[in-house]
Amino acid sequence: MNETAKGKTKIVSAGSAGVRLAIVSFVSTDGKVQKQVLASHLLRKPKARVLAVGVGTYAAFAAFAQRGLQKSAYIAADALDMVATAYTAACSGCSGYTATGYRAGRGIVAVDPRVIPLGTKLFIPGYGFAIAGDTGGAIVGYRIDLGFNSESDAIQFGRRPIKVYTLR
């Protein structure tokens, strides 16, 4: 498993600056130069730098590992590679309650019910135990949206690939 130590960061993708072509007019009046952009065209989109931020091993998952492979296999029904994002109950257009009636927040995640049925109990390393209790318009296929109690925690989590364990 490719892990980053807690508190350490690793550059996954360096990213690159975008390139924009601008046609500019400069007019000098009374010694003052005024600049006016006449036209602008994006030639190359910028690519964001992607960092892996180490969160360490979650204590509950470490306890699974101590029980051995046989016991862990009994507890986890399946392991899915997914892309995770984060949300809070305070998001734009959110009521604070999920599609299943739970209060949105940490421990409640949004899934595509065709991939993970609503009500499924999950374990997500670095996040903890969760319930598939919500859906979202952008949550399609192997995407999961993790609930957080604060916007700063959600922003800090960002977007990253994760392994999601469905529990029996």
Domain boundaries, the chain: 1-56, 57-167
CATH class of the domain at 57-167: mainly beta
Q: Under DSSP, is residue 33 helix (H, G, I), strand (E, B) or coil? A: strand
Q: Is the dihedral of CA 71, 76, 81, 87 positive or negative?
A: negative
Write down the pLDDT at residue 8. Answer: 75
Write down the pLDDT at residue 116. Answer: 92
Write down the pLDDT at residue 84. Answer: 92
Write down the pLDDT at residue 1. Answer: 43
Write down the pLDDT at residue 115. Answer: 93
pTM, two decimal places: 0.55
Write down the pLDDT at residue 112. Answer: 92
Q: Under DSSP, is residue 63 helix (H, G, I), strand (E, B) or coil? A: helix
Query: Would residue 161 be called left, alpha or beta, if left means φ above 0 and alpha means ψ between -120 and 50 degrees?
Result: beta
The closest of 97, 94, 117 to 108, measured between CA atoms, is 97
Q: Return the DSSP state at 102.
A: P
Q: Give the pair of three-digit tokens for residue 67.
A: 């029980």
Write down the pLDDT at residue 114. Answer: 93
Residue 29 makes CB contacts below 8 A (sequence gap 6+) with none
Amino acid type, 159: R
Per-residue pLDDT of the chain (168 residues; tens, 9 = 90+): 455 566 677 777 788 888 889 898 988 888 888 888 889 888 888 888 877 666 555 555 566 556 554 455 556 677 889 999 988 877 666 777 777 888 888 888 999 999 999 989 998 888 888 899 888 888 899 999 998 888 888 888 889 999 999 887
Helices (H), 49-107: 59-67, 69-75
